[in-house]
A and B are shown apart, each in its own frame.
Chain A
């Protein structure tokens, strides 16, 4: 009897695993088939107004890069505080937990928040609002990575730095950050991959634009928002365009994740 139960459970959980994997590969398969059949040179050279994706791809990257420029310094310095300056006090522990909670906060709520503080006073959607919403999403991820990676740096390195008379910030920047460089860079890369696929915080902050623009004060083209709008259109051609965008986005996110995984593995060796 015990053996039968054992067999049943093992078979069931293997089946669950197979089922899960089948579903997940089904998604990737349909995405790849639909995406590749819709991709051609035209979508990289034309803007949305001419049934292309150029302005959207550029726009999405611009927003995410600005978010990196805003979010990474704040996140990194906060992470440095948690690991190097707090000496494990209650406040740091509180901030650490809070940052973890913020990491899982619903992204749409962050969108409404940015709408309230930026879009509403300004009066129209604009690129800055989108970038700031993404930056808010990014900060806790960077905090976590920096915190974790600095924690891996051996204390002896810090002591050696302090022993030769260097001030603490120099020790941090010249020794500790250098030692944890690969890990932090990987973390930032993964954070970038995560925010570049975000839609909900952009819906009513940066909106979407059909034209190529670099003006962050006006509505800004975004690939994910465009996918959402295009996929619900009745026109088959536009839906295919959405599939092409979805495929490119997924491909990019997966490649970055693979690179990040590869780099961390190399380092561990």
Chain B
């Protein structure tokens, strides 16, 4: 009985390892067709669901060979479609129903591509647009979130008196618990229109997505940062004050160096969260496969592509989506493990 339980318990612990590896393996297997088809070029190809003409001999013999591509006509078609999408976005002030409409358009295009595959036309899927969209929206989010979260953390741990710091701290922690879909919805209906009035552009855009992400990760980052700033021993701070240091000098020269690892770690964890966030972004980024020329243009990010196109996809486009999911998984896995192992290791 004793040894049985011991076995069971060690087995359950191994389940975690199993789940993680099988996520990787399964995603890899499903992404394989797309990998074989596009290889590493997938990462740098901005076309998604674009039909291109290929040399007929190549398609019939094998798909791995790099096709001879003559893409001019169809590429123009796609740009036309995208322009139309943007036009719809601009027309509609609330930007509500058009997300789905856009994606349906894209799918129709890609499905046709799959059917036509034998008749000299092939559909190209490239991941560059969502990858760039993910990175840009995360950078914008971090740009706004870091200073504000630091400010809140400094306020809570060093400035505010106990009777303010406590309820505000609790409020911040509670807000970190709010489901992300709420942030997205609020961003779409209230925040997006305001941003578009101030900065121009539609109410769904890269900028709105980045800002909503920032608002979402601020409570998370602030409460983690505050916790690690609070670990600074009072003796250290008091001796600095005794030397005549101002509050800012104490924070800069005593608290920050002491809590540095924890603070950077919490930033990276928040970054990982922003990278993989789906729902807060899905409402406000637009879901359009174009590069944002301005910061107020709509674009798309990896989680949003997955959320919007996954259920309707099949064949090669599904495989391409798995490829994207794998990329996202690997990136966030490394980001988070980096934060955990390097910066937050000593915290137990």
Contacts and interface: CB of A to CB of B under 8 A. Distances in A.
Given A112-B310, A194-B177, A232-B97, A101 B26 contact: no
B16 interface: yes
A104 B182 contact: no
Contact of B171 (A15, A21, A99): A21
B190 interface: yes
Contacts of A128: none
A85 B9 contact: yes
Nearest to A256: B177
Contacts of B278: 106-108, 199-200
Contacts of A199: 179-181, 278-279
A41 B160 CA distance: 43
A60 B238 CA distance: 51
B151 A13 contact: yes
B202 interface: no
Nearest to A233: B97
A26 B175 CA distance: 12
Interface string B157-173: 00110000000101111
Contact of B282 (A23, A169, A194, A228): A228
Point out which of A97, A108, A239, A257 has the most chain B C-beta atoms below 10 A from its C-beta.
A108
Interface stretch (A51-59, A73-81, A179-187, A209-217): A73-81
B267 interface: no
A113 B325 CA distance: 9
Contacts of B210: none
Contact of A78 (B6, B12, B152): B12
B246 A250 contact: no
Interface stretch (B43-51, B59-67, B125-133, B329-337): B329-337
B148 interface: yes
B178 interface: yes
Interface in B175-212: 175, 177-183, 185-186, 188-190
B124 interface: no
Interface of B: 1-2, 5-6, 8-10, 12-17, 19-20, 22-23, 26-27, 29-30, 96-97, 99-100, 147-152, 154-156, 159-160, 168, 170-175, 177-183, 185-186, 188-190, 215, 218-219, 222, 246-249, 251, 269, 272-273, 275-279, 282-283, 303, 306-307, 310-311, 321-322, 325, 328-329, 332-333, 336-337, 340-341
Nearest to B16: A99
A108 B276 contact: yes
B174 A254 contact: yes
Interface of A: 2-3, 5-6, 9-10, 12-17, 19-21, 23-24, 26-28, 30-31, 73-75, 77-78, 80-82, 84-86, 92, 94-95, 97-102, 104-113, 115-117, 125, 136, 139-140, 143, 167-169, 172, 190, 193-194, 197-200, 203-204, 207, 224, 227-228, 231-234, 239, 242-243, 246, 249-250, 253-254, 257-258, 261
B9 A78 contact: yes
Q: What 6 A-B pairs are tightest by C-beta distance, nearest first?
A: A16-B151, A106-B276, A197-B179, A17-B155, A81-B9, A6-B246
Contacts of B175: 24, 27-28
A91 B347 CA distance: 18
Given A139-B15, A224-B179, A85 B6 contact: yes
Contacts of B246: 2-3, 5-6
B152 to A, nearest CB: 5
Given A107-B276, A193-B177, A231-B283, A246 B185 contact: yes
B148 A19 contact: yes
A78 B13 contact: yes
Contact of B23 (A16, A109, A253): A109
Contacts of A97: 337, 340-341
B9 A77 contact: yes
Given A3-B246, A169-B2, A231-B96, A104 B155 contact: no
A65 B132 CA distance: 38
Contact of B311 (A5, A110, A204, A224): A204
B155 A16 contact: yes
Contacts of B97: 232-234
B206 to A, nearest CB: 19
A102 B19 contact: yes
Given A23-B215, A92-B13, A95-B14, A207 B311 contact: yes
**Max chain A C-beta neighbours (<10 A), residue from B97, B152, B247, B269:** B152
B161 to A, nearest CB: 12
Given A17-B155, A169-B2, A227-B185, A106 B303 contact: yes
A199 B178 CA distance: 12
A45 B63 CA distance: 55
B115 to A, nearest CB: 21
A232 B100 contact: yes
